[in-house]
Structure 1
Amino acid sequence: MTSAVVADDSHFMQSVISDILEDGGIEVVAQARNGKEAVEAVIEHSPDVVTMDVEMPEMNGIEAVEQIMARQPTPVLMLSAHTDENADVSFQALDKGAVDFFTKPGGEVSMEMSRLKDQLVEMVRSVAKADVGEASRSRPDARSTRQQTETTEPTSATASPAADYVENPTLLIGSSTGGPKMVEQVMSQLPIEADFRVLIVQHMPGGFTERFANRINEGSDYEVSEAADGDRIGGGEAIVAAGGKHMVVSNYHKGRLRVKLTEDPPVNSVRPAVDMTMSSAAELIDDPMTGVILTGMGEDGAAGIKSIKAVDGATIAQNEETSAVFGMPKRAIETGFVDEVLPIGEIPDGIVNTVKDGAKH
């Protein structure tokens, strides 16, 4: 049975979260009122996973994550209030080693948490499977990777002049649990010379995707923003699907694509859904396409990969060893339509190789 420590400075929220997890078959071995108690509980009980509140007295969630990763690496799911400030803090927690975050509902908390209980239990179970050992924690940060490549000799993948690439390539990236840092890492190493139009779908709630896009933009040579309905992008630009809305390609002409955002029902129990973006792109884009599935729980993206392959696009999936959760990549690979399975560090080169002039898909 999966075991968990629940950390929250509200006794009421401790009880609500603990009850939801226990009802879902997850054993809550300890509760903590602050980060200090959370760290102590992890050391004493060695749980499979920790749910961690962001703002707590004595030691906040970020400091607690840092302490846990240094003393006894354990998967952590941040529970964050739905505010701009907490969005920033949640991403800082990911930088310290947290696997993912789940937004606490507003309003009548007990009723809302009950409504979301299945989603919370599923995410806690998925995060519990994440590898946060030494190898995982030592992966390069997107910003440090970019700084390093700017001060050292370029790799063969990034050294090619623009003439070596096919014209008007589109890159579609899908990810979920454990994905934000992986997406940042890939985008930080993507050469601007390749001139991609990039569509990113990360399972993430509304209010967080704008900050996520800003972070990618800070670490990438590409111009990255959160998608808005009707947005057009061309070469060297990227957009991130807005939380809570599907992003579909609505028009493509001479290297420029337009997207529309919809609130259609969730697909694969998620919105935005990777399948929606990839499948719509495959229908309308007649220039080279590359689809990439990164770490995440569930099966979203598998149908999208099939759609891209059906129109002779290139497809890549992250390997199990470097995936926090090997759900989405595994399902994509099982379709038989994934060209390459690569560790996260090799995916940027893998992407570039698909659009080298004369590349065979």
Structure 2
Amino acid sequence: MGARYKVLVVDDSALMRKYLRQMLETQEDFEVYTARDGEDALRRIQEVDPDVVSLDINMPVMDGLTCLSHIMTESPRPVVMVSSLTEKGALATFEALELGAVDYLAKPDGTVSLQIKDQADELIRKVRAALGAKRRPRRSSGERVHPPPERLRKPLAAPEPAERAPEGLVLIGVSTGGPRTLEEILPDLPADFPLPALVAQHMPGHFTRVFAERLDRRCALRVKEIRGPSLLEAGTVWIARGDADVVLSRRRKGLVALGVPADERCLWHPSVDRMVRSALEHVPADRLIAVELTGMGDDGAEAMAEVHRRGGRTVAESEDTAVVFGMPKELIERGGADKVLPCHRIARQLVQWAYEGSGTAEAAKG
């Protein structure tokens, strides 16, 4: 018999503990334990030393965020948060990811979710991904930069080319570990970054608006969620709406991003693959910069490899910093990555490419 992994399920609802336990116990290599609140969880961690923890956010006695802070300080290990699909739940989830949680599962209908059993496959995928995830140290307070009011900050000095690059677009695909990774990269782009950026982050629809607003407060660039047809302008990062996909279209005023119903043929949404392939239909490949960040699976890898083959520029996050080295690894193995970089060096590379004035792919890759 192979290795067995201990999973601790923490939830104040006996019914939720039962459901989550039953879902996880379908896996022969999972040994599942439970705890009823944060205090009980800390005791159980000392007793059974779980490999991964599933942690509810809203609990009496000690809530999930307080428990998480204790876990990360006293006995760090992978944690998957379980939160409600509400604005409050989204805010708490992003705080948990900032504290060090690997991922989250959103309850579809409130604190006690009778529909949670429909998410068994997703829960199992996330727990398995968490088992192999790495913890990335946060930047020190001296390294982390928060933009002052009026978006005056220019964290990375822009080169001074004779002319700026022609019309282009940055495409970013990311999944597990993505919120923290994007918060490492996007705030380091200057306010006058000359290209628009489009981000497909696998995330529920109730979360992407809150995430865009959170990034907007931290970035020199404007960050917005795609709600209707959105003109792609320099100085703006567009976050694809969760539980849907994003495609591009040419309008009289220019290139527009559109939210469209999720394609059921794609496993993850917003689909990175669909976003990149749509961009290739409307923008010359040598004007595209495609970035594949942390995440399980292979969403976007083949499409970004096609960008590379057609003369575009591509970056894969390196294994050193990727929380889950799935999506970037797939791009690298397809021979589609011009650069393989840790997340803290990606913004600098984007600035370099964006400001190169020749407009030729060969010069840009040099």
> Quick check: 25-34 or 230-239, which moved more?
25-34
Secondary structure class of the residue paired with 1:101: strand
CA contact (8 A) 1:2 1:125 kept: no
CA–CA separation in structure 1 for the residues paired with 2:281 and 2:18: 48
Q: Which residue of 1 aligns with 2:145?
A: 145
Alignment of 1:189-208 (within 5 A): 189-208=188-207
Q: Which residue of 2 aligns with 1:273?
A: 271
Tell me the amino acid that sits aligned with residue 174 of structure 1.
G
Q: CA RMSD in A?
A: 2.5
CA–CA separation in structure 2 for the residues paired with 1:50 and 1:164: 52
Structure 2 counterpart of 1:263, from 231, 255, 261: 261
2:36 matches 1:33: yes
Partner deviation per Cα, 1:19-69 (whole Å, 9 max, x = no partner): 101113352442111112222222332222111101111111111111101
Q: Which residue of 1 aligns with 2:216?
A: 217
Cα distance change on mapping 1:47 and 1:141 into 2, 3 Å = farther
Partner deviation per Cα, 1:146-191 (whole Å, 9 max, x = no partner): 459xxxx977x52424756413331111100011111122110012
Structure 1: state its 5+ residue gaps: none
* Count of residues in correspondence between the two structures: 353
Shift of the alpha carbon at 1:267?
4.4
Secondary structure class of the residue paired with 1:173: strand
Partner deviation per Cα, 1:81-121 (whole Å, 9 max, x = no partner): 11111111111111111111110122897762222211110
**What TM-score does the superposition give when structure 1 sets the normalisation length?**
0.90
CA–CA separation in structure 2 for the residues paired with 1:31 and 1:108: 17
Shift of the alpha carbon at 1:143?
9.6
Cα distance change on mapping 1:108 and 1:5 into 2, 3 Å = closer
Tell me the amino acid that sits aligned with residue 285 of structure 1.
V
Alignment of 1:306-345 (within 5 A): 306-345=305-344
**What TM-score does the superposition give when structure 2 sets the normalisation length?**
0.89
2:131 matches 1:128: yes
Cα distance change on mapping 1:185 and 1:110 into 2, 3 Å = closer
CA–CA separation in structure 2 for the residues paired with 1:143 and 1:215: 19
Cα distance change on mapping 1:349 and 1:319 into 2, 3 Å = same
CA contact (8 A) 1:266 1:272 kept: no
> Quick check: 286-295 or 102-111, which moved more?
102-111
CA contact (8 A) 2:305 2:336 kept: yes
Alignment of 1:1-361 (within 5 A): 1-106=4-109, 112-132=115-135, 136-139=136-139, 144-146=144-146, 157-161=156-160, 165-251=164-250, 256-286=254-284, 288-355=287-354, 356-358=356-358, 359-361=363-365
Partner deviation per Cα, 1:244-269 (whole Å, 9 max, x = no partner): 10001122678x42022221423441
Structure 2: state its 5+ residue gaps: none
Secondary structure class of the residue paired with 1:95: helix
Cα distance change on mapping 1:245 and 1:44 into 2, 3 Å = same
CA–CA separation in structure 2 for the residues paired with 1:144 and 1:182: 13
Tell me the amino acid that sits aligned with residue 280 of structure 2.
A
CA–CA separation in structure 2 for the residues paired with 1:143 and 1:228: 33
CA contact (8 A) 1:267 1:273 kept: no
Runs of 4+ in structure 1 over 6 Å off: 107-110
